[in-house]
């Protein structure tokens, strides 16, 4: 498709572009193509695979710099072979594929990329730590932006009173410690933990939310007799890493 085709599609209601860079006409200063449309029309969502292999880290940074923090969507493009060991042989749509050490899936015996095995938390790490995308933009691309694109941001993608408390707690290295589904069921992911110990039911007795004039977001939750208190701002958010996915 051409740049003009993309503009016409957007004029007729298209609101998101899939797999920016991949499978698209290349950007050229005299023929901007689909990539140029993704850059130029900033209020249309752009989904981009952030494994560092489908697109170069510098290309990821360029995209997020141009697109801004509100319309970029990080996707994994992961296959069902995710979490399977490299070197194994699998199938995709009737085609034999193999997983490389870099996590990419390729058509067997070729260099043709067939998908990824990226996980969301790894994608966030690649964006923030390797591609040097500003953390708020990287986080938005995993949370509120896809929720807005799907029109479920009234209850998903953010930590706020009235929204579903779907939370993920990450280590400093972005490993998942715990996940919460609507704050009623917790799953622990600590290494060595028995499967039966991973799932615990928590009863949320009380919760308090506040936003101060200096934009600090504070909340405390009483769980099972313990009070968890968090204060998040642009500095603390980077280190606490308590996210609503």
* Residue 172 exposed, middle or buried by CB count within 10 Å (0-12, 13-18, 19+): exposed
Lookup result for tokens 């009173």: 161
Cα(60)–Cα(131) distance, rounded to whole angstroms? 6
Cα(112)–Cα(40) distance, rounded to whole angstroms? 29
77 is catalytic: yes
Cα(38)–Cα(35) distance, rounded to whole angstroms? 5
Cα(119)–Cα(142) distance, rounded to whole angstroms? 11
Q: Which two tokens stand for residue 133?
A: 């995308």
Choice among 43, 51, 77, 130 that is catalytic: 77
Query: Using alpha carbons only, how large is the chain's radius of gyration in Å?
Result: 20
Cα(180)–Cα(230) distance, rounded to whole angstroms? 16
Number of other CB atoms surrounding residue 9 within 10 Å: 16
The DSSP-derived string for 209-228 is: EEE-TT--EEEEEEETTEEE
CA distances from residue 173 to 3, 15, 111, 140, 232 in whole angstroms, order as listed: 40, 34, 31, 19, 19
Q: Which residues carry out catalysis?
A: 77
């Amino acid at each position: 498709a051409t740049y003009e085709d993309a503009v016409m599609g957007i004029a007729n209601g298209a609101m998101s572009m899939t797999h920016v860079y991949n499978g698209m006409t290349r950007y050229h200063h005299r023929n901007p193509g689909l990539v140029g449309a993704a850059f130029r029309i900033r209020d249309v969502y752009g989904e981009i695979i952030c494994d560092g292999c489908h697109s170069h880290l510098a290309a990821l940074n360029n995209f997020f710099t141009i697109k801004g923090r509100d319309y970029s969507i990080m996707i994994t493009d992961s296959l069902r072979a995710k979490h399977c060991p490299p070197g194994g042989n699998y199938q995709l749509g009737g085609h034999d594929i193999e997983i490389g050490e870099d996590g990419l899936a390729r058509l067997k015996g070729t260099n043709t990329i067939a998908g990824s095995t990226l996980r969301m938390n790894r994608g966030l790490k690649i964006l923030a730590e390797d591609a040097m995308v500003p953390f708020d933009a990287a986080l938005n691309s995993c949370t509120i932006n896809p929720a807005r694109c799907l029109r479920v941001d009234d209850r998903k993608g953010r930590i706020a009173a009235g929204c579903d408390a779907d939370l993920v707690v990450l280590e400093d290295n972005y490993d998942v410690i715990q996940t919460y589904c609507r704050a009623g069921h917790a799953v622990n992911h600590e290494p060595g933990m028995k499967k039966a110990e991973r799932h615990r039911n928590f009863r949320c007795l009380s919760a308090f939310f506040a936003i101060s004039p200096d934009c600090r977001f504070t909340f405390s939750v009483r769980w099972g007799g313990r009070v968890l208190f968090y204060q998040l701002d642009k500095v603390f958010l980077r280190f606490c890493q308590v996210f609503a996915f």
